[in-house]
Structure 1
Amino acid sequence: MAKYFDVHPASPQPRTISTVADSLRSGALIAYPTDSCFALGCRLDNHDGLERIRSIRRLDERHHFTLMCVDFAQLGQFVRLDNNVFRAVKAATPGSYTFILPATKEVPRRLMHPKKKTVGVRIPDHTVTRALLTELGEPLLSSTLLLPGEDEPMTQGWEIKERLDHLLDAVVDSGDCGTEPTTVIDFSSGAAEIVRRGAGDPARFE
């Protein structure tokens, strides 16, 4: 049964955030809010959590997982950016964008695209997410909480708990965070390719 945490959207309760971070360190898989929609998350070294995300979403090995980072310094540990890409990504973060970039050796091989050796990264513009990432001290392995056969993610924490209670360890709820996923930009070739148009304005990359 998933624990349910009701978190204030503007002033997250430190004790609650600490409890959720501790559960992640202990191997939990959580549903949590972001600046685009709810996501599934666990630690990078959580093999079981990764497989649980794959199972819940029915993902194949070509799916790009996202590393949810708290700031640009953390993001830079896990992906390689040349000067032009660095400037473009930095100007758009924090925000509702996911960037696909060449992974560094800090990224576990199982999280990379099997052929391209790339990984998705993003820095969310969401108070609760950033508080959790700060407390955890490392990125979250993340994937949009979009269930198979459904067109839009769930928007209510109570609904997520009700439907996925037996599949998750915790649900963090700070209110409706929308249904539109991030805009995805692939920089793996050095030039911006818009893979998905979403919550972030894609115009700056066109």
Structure 2
Amino acid sequence: MKILKINANNPEKDKIKAAIAILKRGGTVVYPTDTVYGIGANIFDSEAIQKIYHIKKRSQLKPISACVSKIQDIHKIAHMDKNTERIVKKILPGPFTVILKKKNNVPGILTSGGEKIGVRIPDSKVCMEISREFPITTTSANISGKKIPESLNDILKQLDSDIDLILDAGVCKHGIHSTVIDMTSSPKIVRKGAIIPDLNY
């Protein structure tokens, strides 16, 4: 496990490149979001996703969300009509996970065999940079069912050396998980998190 301190507001390019290189070869990276630290792997690499489930001791019956760099990237992995996109543009980037119908290129292991996928664009320059070449997983950096870590020390206490890299940017902005909104029909909040949005757009 390697730890690199990174500037949350102006991420160093060499550290971003190092993270992307690890993700490209099927590795795992713990990174800061606008809510809590997440564990990233290339979502198109089923073996890398399997590592995430192992590291978190998470049931594969529980899907894992994806992090993308920009709104246009959502169309690469999920179906989104114009009205849904209009709402999504109002709330992303931000501390929200939107549930959409996945496209066929998304591995079933990511969505637990389901037809829906959770998508995030955190309001975080680090997230936007490390997910610019391909979507990455975004799931809290903790053992499933345990307290979500608030600091690097808390992460180290829970996660083992299976993590290849930790990008340490200090304490995350919100310190609480994202609000989850199911957009597959009428927008519906299914988990309250850092901010509760007004969906009456």
Same fold (TM over 0.5): yes
Q: Are residue 174 (structure 1) and residue 169 (structure 2) matched?
A: yes
The answer to whether the 8 Å contact 1:4/1:161 transfers is no
Structure 2: distance between partners of 1:7 and 1:69 = 19
Equivalent residues in 2 for 1:2-21, closer than 5 Å: 2-21=1-20
Identity of aligned residues (%): 25
Partner of residue 32, structure 1: 31
Structure 2: distance between partners of 1:163 and 1:193 = 32
Q: Structure 1 residue runs of 4+, over 6 Å off?
A: none
Structure 2: distance between partners of 1:45 and 1:187 = 23
The answer to whether the 8 Å contact 2:68/2:120 transfers is yes
Partner of residue 109, structure 1: 108
Offset of 1:90 from its aligned partner?
Answer: 1.4
Query: What amino acid does structure 2 have at the position aligned with 1:18?
Result: K
Segment of structure 1 superposing worse, 48-57 or 76-85: 48-57
Partner of residue 94, structure 1: 93
Partner of residue 194, structure 1: 189
Structure 1: distance between partners of 2:56 and 2:77 = 24
Partner of residue 130, structure 2: 132
The 3 A distance-change label for structure 1 pair 197 and 21 is same
Task: Tell me the secondary structure at the aligned position of residue 118 of structure 2.
Answer: strand
Q: Residues 9-57 of structure 1, C-alpha deviation per residue, up to 9 Å, x if partnerless?
A: 2111111111111111111111111011011110123323212221233
Structure 2: distance between partners of 1:182 and 1:205 = 19
Q: TM-score, normalization: structure 1?
A: 0.88
Partner of residue 56, structure 2: 57
RMSD: 1.9
The 3 A distance-change label for structure 1 pair 15 and 187 is same
The answer to whether the 8 Å contact 1:61/1:114 transfers is no
The equivalent position to 1:146 in structure 2, one of 132, 142, 146, is 142
Partner of residue 121, structure 1: 119
- Point out where structure 1 has 5 or more consecutive residues left out of the alignment: none
Structure 2: distance between partners of 1:165 and 1:5 = 16
Structure 2: distance between partners of 1:75 and 1:12 = 23
Q: Are residue 23 (structure 1) and residue 22 (structure 2) matched?
A: yes
Task: Tell me the secondary structure at the aligned position of residue 106 of structure 1.
Answer: coil
Query: What amino acid does structure 2 have at the position aligned with 1:124?
Result: P
